[in-house]
């Protein structure tokens, strides 16, 4: 949504209908492309020792390349999320493929947090391994809703982390073409990934980023928390336009946050803050 919103703001500004001082875009662990992001999930799971080689090989053999299915919704358990992947080639959507996928997800199980595979699993929540009780209590507090300017006559209460009241149709298979427009148009675009989640994993992000054919102007390297001299993550800078390539000017950055889950500020707030400091100081 953030990429589409940014694209709309830029478009309206260009038409003269807007006046927002749009300078850049920062997007974290985004689902960007059904093919690249959907196609990386099983591989990421396998390379992080969450399933056996036999199970992974069976998916590759029976299913071929995978993508994410649009026949789904936004309230997905581990099993539902993983089973929402389907073969790119419809002819490969067979019982053998489905069985191979089921075996992978049987091995992963429901005791692994899809948002941070190393986090402690809390059972009994609305989504696998996550406890949202404190957030639920906080966001249903009347003074908090007032401070957030919640329109009480427009919402269904109580607030829940997952709701069946908000229904929408998914229209986009990819927003990669928007990056081709926004990267040269804006001064500062960055995508970052927490590196221990298979929900919008970094592997898929790296693949769609490299599909843009950009040139590296800042080599892939670690950045640190200088207070304890520990690696906070990794960063790489790219140029898209011929002028930026010639000048060695960074137009796009890809950054990882080490040992962070899907929601980076929740799982690694300090490292996420260090990343933001670099971004706003124009080092990334």
Query: What is the mean pLDDT of the segment spanning 190-217?
Result: 96
**pLDDT per residue as tens digits for the range 152-199:** 888 888 888 877 676 666 678 899 999 999 999 998 999 999 999 998
pLDDT of residue 82: 66
Confidence label for 203 from pLDDT (cuts 50, 70 and 90): very high
pLDDT of residue 83: 67
Name the strand (E) or helix (H) holding 11.
helix 2-15
**pLDDT per residue as tens digits for the range 2-55:** 899 999 999 999 998 878 899 999 999 999 999 999 899 999 999 999 999 999
Query: What is the mean pLDDT of the segment spanning 67-93?
Result: 72
Using an 8 Å Cβ cutoff, are 140 and 169 in contact?
no
**pLDDT per residue as tens digits for the range 27-42:** 999 999 999 998 999 9
Please state, rounded to an integer, the average pLDDT across all residues of the chain: 90
How far is residue 72 CA from its own chain's centroid?
17
The highest-confidence range among 75-79, 98-102, 230-234, by mean pLDDT, is 230-234
**pLDDT per residue as tens digits for the range 239-270:** 999 999 999 999 999 999 999 999 999 999 99
Q: What is the sign, positive or negative, of the torsion defined by CA atoms of 179, 181, 182, 188?
A: positive
The percentage of the chain sitting over the pLDDT mark of 90, rounded to a whole number, equals: 69
How far is residue 282 CA from its own chain's centroid?
22
Cα–Cα distance, 95 to 192 (Å, whole number): 37
Residues in a beta bridge with 68: 85
Cα–Cα distance, 220 to 247 (Å, whole number): 19
- DSSP output for 228-240: TTEEEEEEEEEE-
pLDDT of residue 18: 75
End-to-end CA distance of the chain: 23
pLDDT of residue 187: 83
Q: Tell me the CA distances in angstroms from 111 to 77, 79, 242, 256, one per residue in order.
A: 11, 11, 48, 25
Q: Is the pLDDT of residue 1 over 70?
A: no
pLDDT of residue 172: 83
**pLDDT per residue as tens digits for the range 120-151:** 998 876 667 888 888 899 999 999 999 999 99
Cα torsion for 216, 268, 127, 107, to the nearest 10°?
A: 70
Pairing status of strand 188-194 against strand 24-28: parallel
pTM over 0.95: no
Q: Is the pLDDT of residue 72 over 60?
A: no
Cα–Cα distance, 44 to 119 (Å, whole number): 17
Locate 270 and state its tokens. 């300090």
pLDDT of residue 70: 61
Locate 22 and state its tokens. 């749009």
Residues in a beta bridge with 235: 221, 255
Cα–Cα distance, 101 to 95 (Å, whole number): 10
Query: What is the mean pLDDT of the segment spanning 88-113?
Result: 90
Locate 258 and state its tokens. 């080490």
- 89-113: string of b/e by CB count within 10 Å (b at 16+)? eeeeeeeebeebbebbbebbeeebb
CA angle 24/29/34 to nearest 5° reads 105
């Amino acid at each position: 949504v953030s990429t589409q919103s940014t694209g709309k703001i830029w478009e309206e500004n260009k038409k003269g209908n807007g006046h927002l001082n749009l300078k850049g875009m920062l997007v974290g662990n985004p689902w960007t492309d059904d093919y690249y992001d959907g196609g990386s999930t099983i591989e990421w799971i396998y390379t992080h020792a969450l399933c056996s080689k036999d199970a992974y090989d069976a998916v590759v053999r029976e299913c071929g390349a995978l993508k994410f299915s649009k026949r789904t919704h936004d309230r997905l358990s581990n099993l539902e999320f993983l089973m929402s992947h389907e073969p790119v080639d419809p002819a490969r959507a067979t019982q053998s493929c489905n069985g191979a996928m089921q075996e992978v997800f049987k091995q992963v199980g429901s005791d692994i947090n899809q948002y941070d595979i190393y986090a402690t699993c809390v059972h009994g929540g609305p989504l696998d391994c996550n406890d949202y009780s404190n957030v639920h209590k906080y966001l249903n507090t009347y003074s908090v809703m007032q401070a957030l300017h919640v329109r009480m006559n427009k919402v269904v209460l109580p607030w829940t982390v997952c709701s069946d009241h908000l229904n929408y149709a998914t229209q986009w298979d990819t927003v990669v073409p928007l990056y081709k427009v926004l990267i040269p148009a804006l001064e500062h675009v960055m995508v970052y990934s927490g590196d221990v989640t298979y929900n919008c994993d970094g592997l898929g992000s790296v693949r769609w980023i490299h599909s843009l054919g950009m040139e590296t102007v800042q080599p892939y390297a670690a950045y640190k928390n200088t207070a304890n001299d520990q690696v906070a993550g990794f960063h790489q800078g790219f140029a898209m336009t011929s002028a930026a390539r010639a000048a060695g000017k960074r137009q796009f950055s890809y950054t990882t946050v080490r040992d962070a889950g899907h929601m980076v500020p929740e799982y690694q707030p300090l490292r996420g803050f260090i990343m933001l400091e670099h971004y706003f100081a124009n080092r990334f």
